[in-house]
Chains A and B, each alone.
Chain A
């Protein structure tokens, strides 16, 4: 079974631009979560989608948005990029509608975004 895939793996943008990142979950998984990982703040939860609906949202500004398609693939968008948005963006998928701590989220390898 193929794992979670994320594209692109690396991206360089300049301040003020916008960016769209893509995540394809494991086949059959309907929940997709997005995280931002930086050396100073660690992994921070952005949002989570299930069956095209956003169910949970972290404490990020409105410049960060996402969506999920009917095939469970998800995209996240960051508008008006700032230097501080440079990070590794990870998505994770899981199969259950109601997750418990024992249900594993499978993470993708991430997209490394650099904002110049």
Chain B
């Protein structure tokens, strides 16, 4: 079983829609959860991180963790064409935070 599984998409939504991106993970010991955004022909960039359970909000983005079901989500409100990218969930593994396991990514397209 992979450490983290991500809904593969792709997703295509109209501008202004609410987007929900989801991942599940296998190890209940995981504590930190991250979301990266990767534009075409670019490397990933850290978008948000959360610790343990609950929600974290940053502008139009909300990251949510449900440790009881080992489920993590990223919500994007009022989606914009500039949000079109691949979104990757990521979890640091034991051994240091440089060693990170990523989901396969969900490609999002926001249509004007």
A interface list, Cβ under 8 A from B: 4, 31, 33, 35, 39-45, 48, 55-56, 58, 90, 92, 94, 98-110
Contacts and interface: CB of A to CB of B under 8 A. Distances in A.
B96 A92 contact: no
Given A102-B49, A104-B46, A44 B98 contact: no
A44 B34 contact: no
Interface stretch (B11-19, B74-82, B102-110): B102-110
B44 A107 contact: yes
Given A92-B43, A107-B44, A99 B104 contact: no
Contacts of B43: 4, 90, 92, 106-110
A94 B43 CA distance: 14
Given A101-B51, A107-B44, A56 B98 contact: yes
Contacts of A101: 32, 34, 49, 51, 92, 97
Interface in B85-112: 88, 90, 92-93, 95-105
Contact of A43 (B44, B46, B92, B93): B44
B42 A45 contact: no
B60 interface: no
Interface residues of B, number: 26
23 contacts: A4-B43, A33-B99, A39-B104, A42-B6, A42-B104, A42-B105, A43-B90, A44-B101, A44-B102, A45-B101, A48-B98, A56-B96, A90-B43, A92-B43, A94-B98, A98-B96, A100-B97, A101-B32, A103-B97, A104-B46, A105-B98, A106-B43, A108-B43
Nearest to A9: B41
B29 to A, nearest CB: 15
B67 to A, nearest CB: 16
B27 to A, nearest CB: 15
A42 B51 contact: no
